[in-house]
Amino acid sequence: MKTLLVIILLLFLGSFKNPDNTEIAFPSAFKAGEKLKYRLHYGFIEGGHAYLSLEEKQLNGQKVLHAKALAKTSGLTDKLFKVRDLYECYLDPETCTPIKSIRNVNEGKYKFYNEVEYNVADNKAVSQKTGEHIVPDNIQDIVSSFYYARNSLFKDLKKGQVLTINTFFDDKIYPLKIRFNGHETLKTPFGKIKCLKFSPEVEPGRVFDTKDDLEVWISNDKNFIPVLIRLNLIVGSVKCELIDYEGLLVKLHH
């Protein structure tokens, strides 16, 4: 469950850069009050749910957006290995850059808590656990980058194009690459939805057989929300699908 949540966050919550590094106008794909709910399946077994939400808040007198990403097990999975993982980020509503992030992990008997404060102007991230880190331009926390990504130029992507991602997670910089594989229409609980299809490159080994064992579908409308994730793991297949939403910028196109 931990591996799946991290994969989901790093994939959808990555800081997609514009091909020409031009400035992005914010906001364009979301608004405060948005909530997304996903169901996780391990083969035919329901493993749990993931939730993403966005609210307006005040932090040290500054107007911010408070984003949350929660993953929790359910049913038999919850009895075997209970997971309650919460990732939070306070981000600048104008630039979608992170101001403060919180990681609160509860997985069986394992507990982990950490906070990171960002000074993006000085390319610094300060972790309660490990202190100060120098980070590259346009660095994103895994939660803030989800919203940053949705303001990228998805409509200008060309099939085969590779997007670069820089994400600060676990007090390390995670550079990832995601290949755009074109357009596809999916059947969903809400009807047929036109999507953009991506294949994030993963490292073969303990979890994946090949670097292409992961596929992601994002709605091809003004919302750019994740609709489906499919992972082919060494231990079996995993699917994460959108099952509920509210507060979208525009009606989900289908």
- pLDDT tens sequence for the chain (254 residues): 444 445 555 444 433 334 444 444 445 789 999 999 999 988 778 889 999 999 999 999 999 999 999 999 998 888 888 999 999 999 998 888 899 999 999 999 999 999 999 999 999 999 999 999 999 998 988 888 788 878 765 668 899 998 877 889 899 998 877 889 999 999 999 999 999 998 877 655 555 555 666 888 999 999 999 999 888 766 667 889 999 999 999 988 76
Structural domains of the chain in order of their starting residue, each with its CATH number: 2-246 (2.40.360)
Distance of alpha carbon 98 from alpha carbon 161, whole angstroms: 27
Residue by residue, what is the 3-state secondary structure of the chain? CHHHHHHHHHHHCCCCCCCCCCCCCCCCCCCCCCEEEEEEEECCEEEEEEEEEEEEEEECCEEEEEEEEEEEECHHHHHHCCEEEEEEEEECCCCCCEEEEEEEEEECCEEEEEEEEEEHHHCEEEECCCEEEECCCCCEECCHHHHHHCCCCHHHCCCCCEEEEEEEECCEEEEEEEEEEEEEEEEECCEEEEEEEEEECCCECCCECCCCCEEEEEECCCCCCEEEEEEEECCEEEEEEEEEEECCCCCCCC
Q: Which residues are bridge partners to 54 per DSSP?
A: 67
Q: Are 223 and 150 in contact (CB under 8 A)?
A: yes
Q: How far is CA 82 from the centre of its chain?
A: 22
Phi, psi of 146 (to 5 degrees): -60, -45
Q: Which residues are bridge partners to 194 per DSSP?
A: 185
Q: Are 93 and 186 in contact (CB under 8 A)?
A: no
pTM of model > 0.75: yes
Distance of alpha carbon 202 from alpha carbon 206, whole angstroms: 11
